[in-house]
Amino acid sequence: MVFSSTVFLFIFLPAVLIIYYNPLIKSRSFKNVFLLIASLFFYAWGEPVFVLLMCLSILVTYMIGNLLFRNNSKKWLAAGMIYHITVLFIFKYLTFFLSELGLLFNFRSPVQLALPIGISFFTFQMMSYLFDIYYGKAEPQSNPLNVGLYVSLFPQLIAGPIVRYEQISSEITSRKESFEDLIEGMKRFIYGLGKKVLIANYVALIADNIFDYIEARSVALVWLGAVAYTLQIYFDFSGYSDMAIGLGRMFGFHFLENFNYPYIAHSVTDFWRRWHISLSSWFRDYVYIPLGGNRVSRSRWILNLFTVWLLTGIWHGANWTFVIWGLFYFVVLLFEKLSGTDKRKSIISRLYTLFAVICAWVIFRSLDLSSGIRYLGNMFGVGASGIADATFFEYIGNTYIVLIIAVIGATPLVRAVFNKLGKVKMAWIEDVWLVAVFVLAILKTVNSTYNPFIYFNF
């Protein structure tokens, strides 16, 4: 089930809110059990079989968490990590691994496993549960249903943000819903819905058509496609995060921010402080720092950095493009740290950062390394049909208004304007704006086909 679908907007969400806030049964246990059932139903809607796998993993996590709390032994932490990594490897990477072996040793792989939606996200949340208990940051839940709620809570289940257990452990059993949170959550949800339906889905058409264009492409056309995908993945993923944060707040949960205008970053290091914050902070706290971080010898620090970015690439999918994408960021970040360019905040440094990010997204978007390299070559004139062609001017003529809106929306400008209006007692303008966005998004949703979020695949 997709947040931007009519089933979710007009049936599932209204029904869940009405039952959750019913005036007759107000106990916390009822609310938690009902949210758990609703969340499992939400996941089973698209994954009727793999919901059983998630339930099994929740039960294993609950049992190992209790053993960890009683014994605080590394062997139980290792057992939990081995279980979750094994499950993740089997369902996400085994098919790719055997296919690559088949190419190497000339045999046909007999394994073709389907990828459970969102498995990387809910697996990392269960690993967070065990890590936070082991490090003494939080106590385990006595009720396994509460562990199930933490893992399967439908707002963040499919594509994050990756909610750390320590961040909401107290809210699972003692949160306090409020009318203010409900309203603010709805507003945040509308912003995310608008990002996805009105911007991301539109620029996705541009990106898909250009990346999949089988004829010779001009330099200008491939750059337009790369910029369109850069905008698409931001509005798609940050839109989902906005909706998830808003939905969580409707039910009394306060998730941390996952994006902070990453395309205005002054360095690639700064970019990763702003992009997919929940993932980068997860790797920092659970991998990079335990390995020693930067408080080790230079060679060991480089190895730690390499490990984190190799894992970051692999986390995104079973394809060499993701591995190269992760290692590209390792090289760039290493250069910035060693040269000190991560501290510069000039216009040139911001342009260099955006250039590096756009090039990285090309590899990330490509189906394989050869097509990614060919696309990058076209961007710099290699194999391109010319500087610009009629197709490029046709795209620009039809889409420049949406592209301008998208570029402005990727900056803090709109938020700054609304904050300024609030200070002069004109905050109602934002409410009018939200109503307009909601109406347009609903009209677009009703007339659109299935449009899953990009990060559903991860």
Element of type H or E holding 61: helix 50-71
pLDDT above 70 coverage of the chain, percent: 98
pLDDT for 5 equals 87
pLDDT in tens, 243-298: 999 999 999 999 999 999 999 999 999 999 999 999 999 999 999 999 999 999 99
- Per-residue pLDDT, averaged over 147-172, amounts to 91
- pLDDT category at 456 given cuts 50, 70, 90 is low
Token pair for 338: 């060693």
pLDDT at 448 over 80: no
Segment 138-166 shows an average pLDDT of 92
For residue range 117-133, what is the model confidence (pLDDT) as tens digits?
Answer: 889 999 999 999 999 99
> Which of residues 143, 176, 209 is at a domain's end?
176
User: Which of the listed residues 146, 176, 206 is the one where a domain comes to its end?
Assistant: 176
Domain region containing 246: 181-457
266-276 as b/e, with b when 16 or more CB fall inside 10 Å? bbbbbbbebbb
pLDDT tens by residue, 405-425: 999 999 999 888 888 877 777
In this structure, the answer to whether residues 210 and 166 fall within a common structural domain is no
**Model pLDDT, residue 225:** 95
In single-letter form, the type of residue at position 386 comes to G
Higher pLDDT, 181 or 445: 181
Q: Assess whether 185 and 148 both reside in one domain.
A: no
* Burial of 365 from C-beta contacts in 10 A (0-12 / 13-18 / 19+): buried
449 pLDDT exceeds 70?
no
In this structure, is residue 15 part of a structural domain?
Answer: no
Radius of gyration of the chain (CA): 23
- Look at residue 362 and tell me if it is in a domain: yes
Instruction: Write down the mean pLDDT value for the chain.
Output: 91
Span 51-56, average pLDDT: 94
The torsion region of residue 257 among left (phi > 0), alpha (psi -120 to 50) and beta comes to beta
> Which has more pLDDT, 104 or 42?
42
Pair (210, 135) in one structural domain: no
User: How many domains is the chain partitioned into structurally?
Assistant: 2
Q: Would you say residue 203 lies in a domain?
A: yes
167 with 232, same domain?
no
Tokens coding 379: 């961007």
Q: With CA atoms as reference, report the closest residue to 363 among 324, 335, 393.
A: 324
pLDDT at 214: 72
Both tokens of 100, joined, read 């690559």
Same domain for 150 and 247? no
Q: Look-up: residue for tokens 């698409």? A: 232
Any domain includes 16: no
Token digits for 430? Answer: 């934002």
pLDDT over threshold 80, residue 393: yes
Residue 14 lies in a domain: no
**What mean pLDDT comes out for the span 182-201?**
94
Task: Give yes or no: residues 129 and 206 share one domain.
Answer: no
Cβ(366)–Cβ(375) under 8 Å?
A: yes
Confidence bin at 315 (pLDDT 50/70/90): very high
Hey, what amino acid is at 321? Answer: T
Reference 57, options 2, 116, 136; nearest CA is: 116
Q: Each residue of 196-243: pLDDT tens digit?
A: 999 999 999 999 999 988 778 899 999 999 999 999 999 999 999 999
Measured between alpha carbons, how far is residue 295 from residues 290, 298, 301 in Å? 11, 9, 7
264 in the same domain as 136: no
State whether 120 and 255 are in the same domain: no
Residue 278 token pair: 């929940």
- Supply the pLDDT for residue 33: 96
Q: Which pLDDT score, from 0 to 100, does residue 458 have?
A: 62
Rounded CA gap, 329 and 339, in Å?
15
Query: Cα separation of 406 and 202, whole Å?
Result: 10
Single-letter code of the amino acid located at 45: W
- pLDDT value at position 417? 86
Question: For residues 248 and 243, what is the distance between their CA atoms, to the nearest angstrom?
Answer: 8
Predicted pLDDT at 85: 96
266 is catalytic: no
- The two tokens of residue 339 are 């040269």
- pLDDT band for position 450 (cuts 50, 70, 90): low
Residue 457: what pLDDT?
A: 66
pLDDT of res. 17? 96
Same domain as 204, residue 69: no
Does the pLDDT of residue 99 top 90, yes or no?
no
Task: Identify whether residues 152 and 211 lie together within a single domain.
Answer: no
Residue 362, pLDDT above cutoff 90: yes
11 domain-assigned? no
The residue among 161, 176, 191 that closes a domain is 176
Q: Considering 84, 266, 276, 316, which one is annotated as catalytic?
A: 316
User: Looking at the structure, do residues 428 and 366 belong to the same domain, yes or no?
Assistant: yes
Q: Tell me, yes or no, whether 13 lies in a domain.
A: no
Is residue 429 scored above 80 in pLDDT? yes
The 10s digit of each residue's pLDDT in 330-346 is: 999 999 999 988 888 88
385 is a domain residue:
yes
Residues 415 and 271 in one domain: yes
pLDDT mean over 62-69 = 95
**3-class DSSP assignment, residue 13:** helix
